[in-house]
């Protein structure tokens, strides 16, 4: 069996100017590492004005030297500081995303957090993210964005009525490989979800159980059913 590459993370403070990303990517490529996630923030105020923070996660090649990579990055003239970290996946793990109305979101989160706690005390890393929203367009944009969220593993839609643009966004999220659980509600969203659950607390529990590496529940085995 082929060995899984080691996932690493680095935070860089560098000058905010053209060519810095190119220089960083060149060094990373020379070390046969593959950048898999990147985030950048420019400092507009405070002591770091004119600088930028770059965080990225990368897969280390078999013959790569992480310490040498950091040393070579530090040698780039525009870089001020380089520090290695544990990747977010090792800290926060897989993410359950809950979107919908405030009361329903809170109840789904109750089930998800309680179930995640049960798994995390046994060594897993499952986090729960929530955002209560209203309006078809607003909800559709949020659902579409789930496919772009790092480590998003499952989406739960918690509301009283959802359809139209939201249903089309659900299909796009599922095409991206992220399963969708919907509460039983008015509208067409339940017709497009992988699983429909009446009890919001149970929906949260199901979501965590699906992404857990230790649970035996699998949405793929009951896709299209309603509970």
Residues 2-59 have pLDDT tens digits of 567 788 899 999 998 889 999 999 999 999 888 988 888 888 776 777 889 999 999 8
In a domain, 137, yes or no: yes
In a domain, 203, yes or no: yes
Domain boundary among 54, 72, 89: 89
- pLDDT of the residue at 3: 62
Q: What is the pLDDT of residues 185-211, one digit of tens each?
A: 999 999 999 999 999 999 999 999 999
Give the model's confidence band at 130: pLDDT under 50 very low, under 70 low, under 90 confident, else very high.
very high
Q: Is it the case that residue 144 has pLDDT exceeding 90?
A: yes
Q: Based on the domain organization, do 98 and 83 belong to the same domain? A: no
Q: Based on the domain organization, do 106 and 199 belong to the same domain? A: yes
Residue with the larger pLDDT of the pair 83 and 92: 83
pTM: 0.80
Total Cβ atoms within 10 A of residue 35: 14
In a domain, 164, yes or no: yes
Helices 200-211, 102-120: inter-axial angle, 10-degree rounding = 40
Range of the domain at 33: 6-89
* Residue 58: alpha-carbon gap to chain centroid: 15
- pLDDT of the residue at 2: 55
57-72 average pLDDT score: 85
Q: Name which of 136, 137, 135, 128 is nearest 155 in CA terms.
A: 128
In a domain, 101, yes or no: yes
Q: Based on the domain organization, do 177 and 103 belong to the same domain? A: yes
CATH of the domain at 17: 3.30.70.260
Among residues of the chain, what percentage have pLDDT more than 70?
Answer: 97
Q: Is it the case that residue 1 has pLDDT exceeding 70?
A: no
Q: In whole angstroms, give the CA distance from residue 127 to residue 94.
A: 6
Q: Based on the domain organization, do 63 and 138 belong to the same domain? A: no
- pLDDT of the residue at 92: 84
At 26, phi and psi to the nearest 5? Answer: -65, -45
């Amino acid at each position: 069996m082929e060995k899984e590459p080691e996932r690493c993370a680095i935070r860089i403070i560098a000058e905010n100017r053209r060519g810095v990303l190119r220089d960083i990517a060149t060094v990373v490529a020379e070390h046969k590492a593959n950048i898999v996630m990147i985030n950048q923030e420019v400092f507009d105020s405070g002591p770091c004005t004119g600088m930028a923070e770059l965080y990225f996660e990368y897969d280390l090649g078999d013959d790569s030297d992480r310490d040498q990579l950091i040393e070579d990055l530090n040698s780039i003239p525009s870089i001020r500081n380089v520090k290695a970290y544990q990747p977010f996946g090792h800290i926060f793990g897989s993410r359950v995303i809950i979107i919908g109305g405030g009361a329903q979101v809170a109840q789904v989160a109750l089930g998800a957090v309680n179930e995640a706690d049960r798994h995390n005390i046994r060594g897993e890393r499952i986090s729960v993210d929530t955002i209560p929203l209203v309006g078809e367009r607003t909800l559709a944009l949020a659902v579409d964005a789930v496919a772009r969220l790092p480590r998003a593993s499952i989406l739960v839609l918690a509301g009283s009525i959802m359809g139209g643009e939201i249903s089309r966004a659900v299909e796009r999220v599922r095409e991206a490989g992220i399963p969708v659980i919907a509460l039983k509600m008015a509208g067409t969203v339940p017709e497009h979800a992988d699983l429909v659950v009446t009890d919001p607390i149970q929906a949260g529990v199901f979501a965590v159980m699906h992404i857990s590496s230790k649970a035996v529940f699998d949405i793929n085995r009951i896709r299209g059913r309603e509970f």
